[in-house]
């Protein structure tokens, strides 16, 4: 069973977090928007308070779909964005919001907007040597707000991801290509990127805009919603 919690009033907004973290990463965002949206946060499989789910991206998404409200706005950050694209292929949503995310995270001969697979593996291997320490350092590079850092660090320690889930998530990030799927989606799409993001280079904004997708680029790293100018 996956963990979820819902708060607020208004149109349904569902939040999907990224690799290694848990849904509490969104708590400040929820506090800001709970009077405008009915917000559901979900811990990904094997992350935080959720049970592990065997399989890959389709099995993970099928479990998430079981607890989605009807026709929600679906916001996915990083790995959560990749899952959100796949979910949008399977069920009706009213809008897709991708935050620091991509339909293909890895660079290849036909896709210049990803990062080098070897560099990605080195980054993930370094994080997994001491996940808590690695995630905390990663977050510290995203914001200087000490009160936010304290809360986020507590959440990282309290609700860690399982080794199996971390490996599954990396497999999804390294081997999933949803470029064609994104191009074929009927739902409205919006994208928010960070200009200092080293995992999802902001130059991907050119590609999104070529598809007439509304794209914002904030002065931030890989977690744009920690920026005070982040607006839904």
Q: Which residue among 17, 24, 50, 78 is the active-site one?
A: 78
Q: What is the pLDDT of residue 229?
A: 82
- Segments making up each domain of the chain, as ranges: 4-226
Q: What is the pLDDT of residue 115?
A: 87
Structure confidence by residue, pLDDT tens digits, 191-213: 999 999 988 999 999 999 999 99
Closest C-alpha among 97, 87, 59, 57 to residue 191: 97
pLDDT in tens, the chain (232 residues): 999 999 999 999 999 999 999 999 999 999 999 999 999 999 999 999 999 999 999 999 999 999 999 999 999 999 999 999 999 999 999 999 999 999 999 999 999 999 888 887 787 787 777 888 888 888 887 877 888 888 888 888 999 999 999 999 999 999 999 999 999 999 999 999 999 998 899 999 999 999 999 999 999 999 999 888 899 9
Sheet-wide strand order for 189-194? 4-8, 37-42, 11-16, 73-77, 95-99, 189-194, 214-218
Question: Of how many residues is the chain composed?
Answer: 232
For tokens 């928007």, name the residue. Answer: 33
The Cα 95–Cα 3 span in angstroms is 23
Structure confidence by residue, pLDDT tens digits, 45-86: 999 999 999 999 999 999 999 999 999 999 999 999 999 999
By the 8 A CB rule, do 56 and 62 touch? no
Active site residue 28: no
The secondary structure element, H or E, covering residue 189 is: strand 189-194
Q: What is the pLDDT of residue 140?
A: 85
Q: What is the pLDDT of residue 125?
A: 80
Q: What is the pLDDT of residue 215?
A: 97
Q: What is the pLDDT of residue 204?
A: 97
* 179 burial level (CB within 10 Å; 0-12, 13-18, 19+): middle
Question: 4-226 has which fold?
Answer: Rossmann fold (3.40.50)
Give the CA-trace dihedral at 193, 197, 201, 207, to 10 degrees. 0
Q: What is the pLDDT of residue 120?
A: 78
Active site residue 110: no
By the 8 A CB rule, do 114 and 49 touch? no
Rg (CA), the chain: 16
Active site residue 78: yes
For tokens 């779909």, name the residue. Answer: 65
Q: What is the pLDDT of residue 3?
A: 98
Structure tokens at 87: 């979910």
Structure tokens at 101: 């995310």
Q: Strand pairing partners for 193?
A: 217
Q: Which residue among 47, 124, 155, 222 is the active-site one?
A: 222
Q: What is the pLDDT of residue 172?
A: 96
The beta strands (E) that lie in 52-205 are given as: 73-77, 95-99, 189-194
Q: What is the pLDDT of residue 98?
A: 98
Give the CA-trace dihedral at 139, 4, 45, 146, to 10 degrees. 10
By the 8 A CB rule, do 4 and 49 touch? no
């Amino acid at each position: 069973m996956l963990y979820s919690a819902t708060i607020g009033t208004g149109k349904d907004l569902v939040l999907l977090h990224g690799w290694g973290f848990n849904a509490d990463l969104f708590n400040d965002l929820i506090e800001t928007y709970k009077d405008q949206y009915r917000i559901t946060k979900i811990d990904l499989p094997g992350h935080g308070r959720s049970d592990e789910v065997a399989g890959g991206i389709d099995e993970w998404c099928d479990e998430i779909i079981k607890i989605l409200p009807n026709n929600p706005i679906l916001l996915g950050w990083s790995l959560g964005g990749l899952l959100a694209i796949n979910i949008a292929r399977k069920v009706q949503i009213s809008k897709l919001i991708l935050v620091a995310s991509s339909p293909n995270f890895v660079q290849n001969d036909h896709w210049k907007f990803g990062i080098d697979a070897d560099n990605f593996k080195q980054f993930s291997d370094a994080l997994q040597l001491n996940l808590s320490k690695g995630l905390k350092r990663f977050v510290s590079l995203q914001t200087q707000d000490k009160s936010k850092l304290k809360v986020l660090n507590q959440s990282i320690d309290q609700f860690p991801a399982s080794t199996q889930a971390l490996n599954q998530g990396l497999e999804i990030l390294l081997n999933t290509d949803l470029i064609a799927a994104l191009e074929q989606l009927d739902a409205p799409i919006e994208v928010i990127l960070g200009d200092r993001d080293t995992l999802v280079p902001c130059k991907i904004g050119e590609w999104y805009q070529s598809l007439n997708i509304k794209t914002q680029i904030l002065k931030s790293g890989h977690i744009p919603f920690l920026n005070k100018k982040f607006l839904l």
